[in-house]
C-alpha cells in the first residue's frame, strides 16, 4: 500500500512519525512522511530508512504563534493529498486531521487519526474554547477509520473516543539496549540527562533541576535540544561546569546518552492538561535503558512509575524535594539499579517498541483486508 503519514513539524523531531514509517516500510509498504519544516533548513525531498520525507518549507516562530500559520499549512496539505496517489492517509494530531479527512473522503480513502498529543490540552486556552476544540476533535475522531491513542490515560482525559476502532500505542523507543548491550559502569559523577524541545511555552522546570544540581556535590546535568530557551540554558552552562549543553543531537545519540546516564526526568508543569493525561517519550526511554526516572506527581506518567516502581515522583516546583531525591539516588546505586531493572522488566513485558510495532502492523493489516474485501464485493 502507498501510505502517507502527516506531521505538522519536522519528522526527525518526532520519533513517533519516523518509527511508524520505518515499521510500515519494513513489511513492504510504500511510505511517505509529509512534514512541515518550520525552520526551513532541511531538504525538500529526502529518502531514508526505507521511507521518503516530503517537507513543506515555510519558516514560522516557535510556540502558540504557529496557530496563525496553520491555515497555510492546511492548504498545502489538502492540495498535496488531492494531487498525490495514496491508499491510506495517516494524520497525526488535530493540526493535520481536518484537511486529511476532507481529502480522504473526496478520494474515497481510509484515514487513520493518531493522537500523539492532546493538541487542545497543550495550549493555554479558555475552558469554553477548549471544550469547543475537543468537540471538533471528536467529530474527526468519529469520521476516521481508526484512532491511535498514545496511552490509555489520554482516552480517559478525553472522556472516551467516539470510534469503534481504537488502539493504544505508547511512545516507546526501539530497544537500543538489546542492540548495543547494557551501558558500562557507573560514571565518575552522577549524570542527569534531558533531551527535547526547549521552549518556554512548554514548561519543563529545567530551571528547578538546574538549581538543585548547582548546590549538590557529585552531580552533573546534561541538556540537549532546541528552542527559544537555548540562550538561557547556554548561560547556565557558561556559569558552572555542573551543567553542560549539547545543542540539537540525533535521536540515536539521545538514546545512546540515555543508556549511559544515571537518571532521567520529566518534571513538566501540570498546568498543561496534556501533561496530566499523556505519557512522554522520556518515561519509556528510561524503561528501555534500565534507568530510574523522576516524574511529576498527579499525572498519568506518575501512575505508571508508581505501579512499576521504576522511578520517583516529585512536586515540580519543590526544588528542595528534587534535590533530596537526586541525593538519595546518587548515594544509593543499588536502589537506582533496582528501579532501573523494574523499568526494564516493564518495558520488555508491556511497553517495548516491538509490541507497539505489532499493534501498528495489525491495524494496517485489518484496514488492508477491509479494502480488499470492498474491492472484491459485487457491485449492484
pLDDT at 118 over 90: no
Q: What structural domains and CATH numbers belong to the chain?
A: 2-172+352-376 (3.40.50.2000), 176-349 (3.40.50.2000)
Top-confidence range, 114-118, 219-223, 271-275 = 219-223
pLDDT band at 269 (very low <50, low <70, confident <90, very high): confident
Are 300 and 276 in contact, with CB atoms under 8 Å apart?
yes
12-60 confidence digits (pLDDT tens): 877 899 999 999 999 999 999 999 999 888 999 999 889 999 999 999 8
Query: Which residues fall within 8 angstroms of residue 260, CB to CB, at 6 or more apart?
Result: 183, 184, 187, 191
What is the average pLDDT across 186-207? 86
Nearest C-alpha neighbor of 21 from the set 56, 59, 47: 47
Q: Which of 249, 219, 221 is nearest to 237 (CA)?
A: 221
DSSP assignments along 302-325, one per residue: HHHHHHHT-EEEE-TT-HHHHHHH
| pLDDT attached to residue 139 | 96
Q: Give 120-165 pLDDT, tens digit per residue.
A: 777 767 788 888 989 999 999 999 999 999 999 999 989 999 999 9
pLDDT one-digit tens code per residue, 93-116 = 999 999 999 999 999 999 999 998
pLDDT band, residue 182 (cuts 50/70/90): low
Q: Does residue 380 surpass a pLDDT of 60?
A: no
Amino acid at each position: 500500500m502507498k501510505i502517507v503519514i502527516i506531521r505538522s513539524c519536522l519528522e526527525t523531531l518526532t520519533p513517533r512519525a519516523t518509527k511508524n514509517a520505518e515499521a510500515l516500510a519494513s513489511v513492504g509498504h510504500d511510505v511517505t512522511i509529509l512534514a512541515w519544516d518550520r525552520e526551513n533548513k532541511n531538504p525538500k525531498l529526502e529518502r531514508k530508512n526505507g521511507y521518503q520525507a516530503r517537507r513543506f518549507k515555510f519558516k514560522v516562530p516557535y510556540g502558540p504563534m504557529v496557530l496563525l500559520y496553520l491555515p497555510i499549512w492546511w492548504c498545502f496539505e489538502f492540495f498535496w493529498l488531492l494531487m498525490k496517489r495514496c491508499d491510506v492517509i495517516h494524520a497525526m494530531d488535530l493540526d493535520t486531521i481536518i484537511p486529511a479527512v476532507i481529502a480522504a473522503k473526496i478520494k474515497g480513502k481510509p484515514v487513520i487519526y493518531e493522537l500523539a498529543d492532546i493538541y487542545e490540552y497543550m495550549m493555554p486556552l479558555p475552558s469554553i474554547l477548549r471544550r469547543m476544540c475537543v468537540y471538533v476533535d471528536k467529530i474527526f475522531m468519529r469520521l476516521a477509520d481508526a484512532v491511535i491513542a498514545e496511552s490509555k490515560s489520554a482516552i480517559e482525559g478525553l472522556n472516551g473516543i467516539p470510534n469503534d476502532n481504537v488502539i493504544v500505542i505508547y511512545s516507546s523507543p526501539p530497544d537500543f539496549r538489546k542492540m548495543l548491550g547494557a551501558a558500562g559502569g557507573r560514571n565518575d559523577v552522577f549524570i542527569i540527562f534531558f533531551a527535547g524541545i526547549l521552549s518556554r511555552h512548554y514548561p519543563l522546570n529545567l530551571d528547578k533541576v538546574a538549581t538543585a544540581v548547582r548546590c549538590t556535590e557529585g552531580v552533573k546535568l546534561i541538556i540537549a535540544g532546541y528552542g527559544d530557551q537555548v540562550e538561557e540554558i547556554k548561560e547556565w552552562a557558561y556559569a558552572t561546569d555542573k551543567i553542560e549543553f549539547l545543542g540539537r543531537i540525533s535521536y540515536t545519540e539521545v538514546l545512546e546518552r540515555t543508556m549511559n546516564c544515571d537518571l532521567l526526568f520529566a518534571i513538566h508543569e501540570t498546568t498543561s492538561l496534556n501533561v496530566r493525561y499523556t505519557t512522554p517519550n522520556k518515561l519509556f526511554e528510561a524503561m528501555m535503558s534500565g534507568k530510574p526516572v523522576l516524574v511529576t506527581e498527579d499525572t498519568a506518567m506518575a501512575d505508571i512509575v508508581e505501579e512499576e516502581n521504576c522511578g520517583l515522583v516529585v512536586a515540580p516546583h519543590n526544588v528542595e524535594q528534587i534535590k533530596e531525591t537526586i541525593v538519595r539516588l546518587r548515594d544509593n546505586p543499588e536502589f537506582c539499579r533496582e528501579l532501573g531493572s523494574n523499568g526494564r522488566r516493564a518495558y520488555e513485558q508491556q511497553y517495548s517498541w516491538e509490541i507497539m510495532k505489532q499493534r501498528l502492523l495489525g491495524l494496517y493489516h485489518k484496514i488492508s483486508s477491509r479494502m480488499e474485501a470492498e474491492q472484491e464485493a459485487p457491485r449492484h
